[in-house]
Structure 1
Amino acid sequence: MTLPRRTLRRTALRAAATLGAAALLLTGCGSGSDSGSDDKEKTSAEGGGTRTVKDATGKAVKVPAHPKRIVTLTQEDLDAVLALGVKPVGITNGQGMNKPPAYLADKVKGTKVVGNLLQPVMDKVIAAKPDLILAGDMQDEQMLKQLREITPATLVTMAPTDDWKLSFRGVGNAVNKLPKAQKVIADHEAAAKEAGKKLGKEKGAEVSIVRWNPDGPSWMEKKQFASGIALEMGLKRPKSQDKDGNAHAPALSLEKIDEIDGDWLFLSTLTSDGDKALKDVQAKPAYKDLKAVRAGHAVTVDGSVWSTRGGPLASEVVMNDITKALTKKS
C-alpha cells in the first residue's frame, strides 16, 4: 500500500501524542514568569516582548508576543494562519505538489515558497527572516535543530492524534489569537449544522470517503478530517468504515472493493499514479457494480484538501463539495 508520508511518520510520536497541541493551547502566557521584567517593559513600551507556550511535543518555547514574520512548513499551518487573518512571509508547497495548495493560492500570491512540504530549503528560510516558524508535525530532529538556529521560536504544531480543531487552537495560541481561533471553530460548527439541514432527504446518508492510491483504494477512518466534517453535517459512514481513528485503512484489492461502497462515494487522489490507478479501475465491472456508482453518486474531489489533516479553510471546501453533490438535482 502507499500511504501519505506523514501518515507513515505518525507512529514515531505515539508516545508524545497525549501532550499534543493541547499543551501548546493551555500553556501560553502573557510575558510569562520566565520571560523577565525586561520583556514586560518592552511589551508595554513597544508592543513586543515574548510569551512562553508548549508545542505539540511538550517543549516550552518562547515566541514573540506579536509575531510579524511567520513561516509555515505545512499547508495545515498555512490554512490556520490565513483563517486567523495572518499572511505568512514564507510557505511550502502542498502535499505531493510543486506549488501551493490550489484552494489557498489566491490568498498567498506573492508569498515566498521556501521549499516543499516539511522539506524547507534553509537558505530560503533564512532569507524570509522569520520570527516564528510553524513546523507542523515535523519529526526530523536535525532539521528542527537547524530551524531553531534560524529562530528559537520554532514550534511543532501537530501531534499524531491531534484533530484539526486542536491543532488550530494551538496555532491560534502561538500567534496570540486564541479568542479568534475559538470563534472560527464555533462559526464552523454552526455552518456545518446549517449545511446539514439543507441536505433534505440525503441527510443521514452513508458517505464513503476514499483516497485512491496506486495500490488501490483506502477508506478514511471516522476521526480523519473530511470524515469528521461529514459527521458534523449529520451524515453517516458505511458500517465497514465505521472505525475510530484519524488515518487511512490499508489499500484494498479489487476483490474487496465493495468495502468502499455507500450511498455516496467521494474519491480523491494525491499523485498522478493514483489518478491513473483510479481511471484504470473505473473501467472494470467490479467498480461499475458499486451501488454509489450505479446511482451516479460517485464524486471526484481534491485530494490535497480531503486527504490532509485539515483546517478551517479546508473545512469550507469539504462542506461545499458535500453540499453541492448531495443537493444537485438529477
Structure 2
Amino acid sequence: MADKNSSPTKKFALLAISAALALGFTALAMQKPDATTESAQTESAAPADQPLAVATKDITDAAGRRVSVPVEPKRVLALGEFDMDAMLALGMKPVGVTDGRGQQTPPSYLKDLSAGIESIGRLAQPSIDKVIAAQPDLILTGTIQDEKLISQLQQIAPTVITSATSENWRDMFKRIATALGKESEAESFLVKYNEKAAKLRESLENPENVSVSVVRWSPKGPTYMLRDVFISQVIEDVGLSRPPAQQESGIHSAPLSLEALHEIDGDWIFVGTLSPVGDAADTFAEIRDNAAFKQLSGVNNGHLVLIDGSLWTSVGGPLAAMAALEDIEKAMLGKQG
C-alpha cells in the first residue's frame, strides 16, 4: 500500500518551503554583519584627529599630593622663579612664565635665556585666560599658595607644587626634574655645581673666618637675608660664615632704619635690589653717600659688592646657585667665573 506522504504533490511543496527558508536566512546574514565587522566599522568611523592616550606617571609634590603627570611633557608652564630657573637649567623652555619678584619681567639674571617666553602674569597671580590659551600639559609652581587658584589650575592641566618653606634648593630641583622626566640631567648639573663649590672653597683662605652679609635694599631700607634663604645654602657650600644676626632661622629681616645700619655689616657685604631701576635702586644710590654707610667695615675695607638682587635675594634656583659661585669667585679671588 502506497504512503500518502510520498505523493509527488506533497514532495514538491516541501521542497518549495525549504528553498524559501534558505533564501530568508541568506538575506538576514547579508543585512546584519557579525560583531567583528561592526567593531571595525565603528573604529573606522572615529575622528581622524582624536587625541591619542598620553602615558602618565604618579609623583608626590611638595604639598604631599599625588599628581598624575605626563611621562614626557611638552608644554609646561613655570609659574614661579625657581620653576623657570630649574627648567632652563634642565634644557627645557617653558611655554609661559610669571614675572619675577618685584619686577614686571622674568628675573633679570634670566633675561637672555627667557627671550621669547610669554609672561602669563605677575608673580603668584597668573592670568587664567592666558594659562588656558597656553594649552599646557603640565604646570609647575613653587610660589602660588592660594588653594582656590591651585584648584583652578589643576582643572586646566596637572599642577605640581614644587617647593616647601625652607626646603633646600637641591631637593626642589630634583623634584622638578622628576616631574619633567629629567632626573639624569639634574644629577649631571648638581655634580658640576658641587665640583665648582668645592674648588672655590679650597681656593678661599680660611673661609670659615670670613663673614658675608647679604642685603636686599628696598624703598623702605635694607633687609638682610637669614639662614633659610637660598643664598645662605650657597654661601655655606663654600665654607664662608654669616654675621651672627643673619644665622637666625627665617627668610629675611624687617627693613632697617639708618640708625640700625650696623646690623648689615660684615667682612664682605653683598648688596643689591630686585630690579636695577626703580625706587629701591634710587634709594640705595642715595645711601651710598651717607656717612653711617661709609663707616661700615665691609664698605670701609673695599669689600662692598654690588649684586643682582633677583639672583641673590630671591628664591634662586640651580642657575642662580652657579651664578652666585661665580660672583663670589670674582669678588673674593678676582677671577671671572
Distance, in Å, in 2 between the alignment partners of 1:138 and 1:269 is: 23
Q: Which residue of 2 aligns with 1:248?
A: 252
1:166-315 matches, within 5 Å, as: 166-200=171-205, 204-243=209-248, 245-270=249-274, 272-315=278-321
Is the contact between residue 123 and residue 143 of structure 2 (CA under 8 Å) also seen in structure 1? no
Is the contact between residue 193 and residue 234 of structure 1 (CA under 8 Å) also seen in structure 2? no
Is the contact between residue 91 and residue 115 of structure 1 (CA under 8 Å) also seen in structure 2? yes
Alignment RMSD, CA only?
2.0
Q: Specify which structure has the bigger relative contact order, considering alpha-carbon pairs within 8 angstroms and separated by 6 or more residues.
A: 1
Alpha-carbon deviation of 1:325? 1.0
Distance, in Å, in 2 between the alignment partners of 1:215 and 1:99 is: 22
Q: Which residue of 1 aligns with 2:164?
A: 159
Distance 1:150 1:174, change over 3 A: same
Q: SS at the partner of 1:107? A: coil
Is the contact between residue 71 and residue 134 of structure 1 (CA under 8 Å) also seen in structure 2? yes
Q: Structure 2: any 5+ residue segments left out of the alignment? A: 1-51
Aligned residues: 282
Distance 1:160 1:47, change over 3 A: same
Q: Which amino acid aligns with 2:274?
A: L
Alpha-carbon deviation of 1:246? 4.4
In the alignment, structure 1 residue 127 sits paired with structure 2 residue 133: yes
Distance, in Å, in 1 between the alignment partners of 2:250 and 2:186 is: 22
Percent identity between the aligned chains? 41
- TM-score, normalization: structure 1? 0.80
Q: Which amino acid aligns with 1:250?
A: A
- Decide which moves more: 305-314 or 175-184: 175-184
Residues 124-145 of structure 1: CA distance to partner in whole angstroms, max 9, x if unpaired? 1112110000021311122112
Q: Which residue of 2 aligns with 1:117?
A: 123
Q: Which has the larger radius of gyration?
A: 2
- Decide which moves more: 315-324 or 272-281: 272-281
The one of 86, 99, 102 equivalent to 1:93 is 99
Q: Structure 1: any 5+ residue segments left out of the alignment? A: 1-45
Distance, in Å, in 1 between the alignment partners of 2:137 and 2:258 is: 50
- TM-score, normalization: structure 2? 0.78
